[in-house]
Amino acid sequence: MIQFRITTAAATVIAGAGLVFLTLPASAATAAQSVTKQCSTQYNAAKEAGTLNGQKWPQFLSDCSAKLKDAGATDAAAPAATTPTKKATKDTATTKQSKDTAAAKPAKATETAAAGGMSVKAITKECSTQYQSAKSAGTLKGQTWNQFLSSCSESLKSDNSDASTPPEPTPAATKTTTKTAAAATTADGKPLTPGQVAFRQRISACGEQWQQAKASNKTGGKTWPQYWSACNTRLKAE
């Protein structure tokens, strides 16, 4: 009889624990996976660029996770939008139903452009390249890779140099642009920001590709502004 009661109690405890586990929010697991994925992308880019400075994956993941969590805490501090009532939500959905299909894509593109339009992978890759260049030139001024990555990322995200289409390059202008892209200062002698450096490099790359496409009659009927827009967007995502 005593053994039966003990067995019954144990089964009750196990069942209760199972119910508690099932009620845990899935968002925690999803967030952890997202952080690991982002850190993995940054780790591989840094590994290829040789900027790990001896860090192993566990140490890199720990530092990277902490930074992403700090960034998430900052975002969480922003005031939440007021949740509309069910009736307001239904009315709004009915009114916008015929417009959403056409408006969704442009709105998304605008948000992407406002955020700098570069993927995490592209930002890490570009910053790694610029870090190595600065390291070789001796212009890091004591910055570690993490410090350089932080300031470089902010510059790339806030840069709006490509807000307007640059002039169509000619073969001679393309060569000049390539030399300009390699320069480290502006015309008035001020150092280029990481965003400006990346922008000049994209102009150079897209300009050369445009000239090659025109020479082989493979522009697909696109004008330079159309070609530049597609090329610029592609390079910012790679």
Instruction: Give per-residue pLDDT as tens, 25-84.
Output: 555 666 677 878 888 888 888 887 778 888 888 888 888 888 877 765 544 444 444 444
197-226 burial code (b ≥16 CB/10 A, e <16): bbbbbbbbbbbbbbbeeeeeeeeeeeebee
How much is the pLDDT for 59? 87
How much is the pLDDT for 109? 35
What average pLDDT score do residues 151-163 get? 88
Handedness of CA 72, 76, 78, 81 (dihedral sign): positive
Secondary structure (DSSP) of 40-86: HHHHHHHHHHT-STT--HHHHHHHHHHHHHHHHHHHHTSPPPPPPPH
How much is the pLDDT for 49? 75
**Interval 190-238: pLDDT, tens:** 888 888 888 888 888 999 999 999 899 988 999 999 999 999 989 888 8
How much is the pLDDT for 114? 34
Q: How far apart are CA 207 and CA 75, in angstroms?
A: 38
Indicate yes or no: pTM above 0.85.
no
How much is the pLDDT for 87? 53
What average pLDDT score do residues 175-180 get? 52
How much is the pLDDT for 85? 52
pLDDT at 92 > cutoff 60: no
pLDDT at 174 > cutoff 60: no
Q: Is 50 left (phi over 0), alpha (psi -120 to 50) or beta?
A: left
pLDDT at 4 > cutoff 90: no
Handedness of CA 93, 95, 98, 100 (dihedral sign): negative
Q: For the beta carbon of residue 159, count every other beta carbon within 10 angstroms.
A: 19
**Interval 99-144: pLDDT, tens:** 444 444 433 433 343 345 788 988 999 999 999 988 998 989 899 9
How much is the pLDDT for 171? 75
How much is the pLDDT for 127? 93
